[in-house]
Amino acid sequence: MKTKAVFYHAGCPVCVAAEQNVAAALDPARFDVEIVHLGQAKPRIAEAERAGVKSVPALVLGGTAYHINFGADLSVLK
């Protein structure tokens, strides 16, 4: 079974670069990668917070949040 990976972003330039490079670099044989734009999917901000996401872009892999560089704090998206 593949591991779920969720990449949260907000459309910022730092986010897009991380999406096109880091999120796209994950092994498709082992990961199902979902891309979530929190600016357009505000109900999912709470889900991201529960996973430990504090800023975007962030990648949640196997339930753990990894913040990749810094685009925006989650609080500004609410």
The site for a second copy (CB under 8 A) is made up of 3, 5, 17-18, 21-22, 25-31, 59, 61-62, 64, 66-70
For residues 68 and 12, is the Cβ–Cβ distance under 8 A? Answer: no
**Which CB, 12 or 17, lies closer to a second copy?**
17
Pairwise CA distance, residues 53 & 57, whole Å: 9
Phi then psi for residue 9, to 5 deg, are: -150, 180
Q: How far is the CB of 76 from a second copy (least distance, A)?
A: 20
| Least distance in angstroms from the C-beta of 43 to a second copy | 26
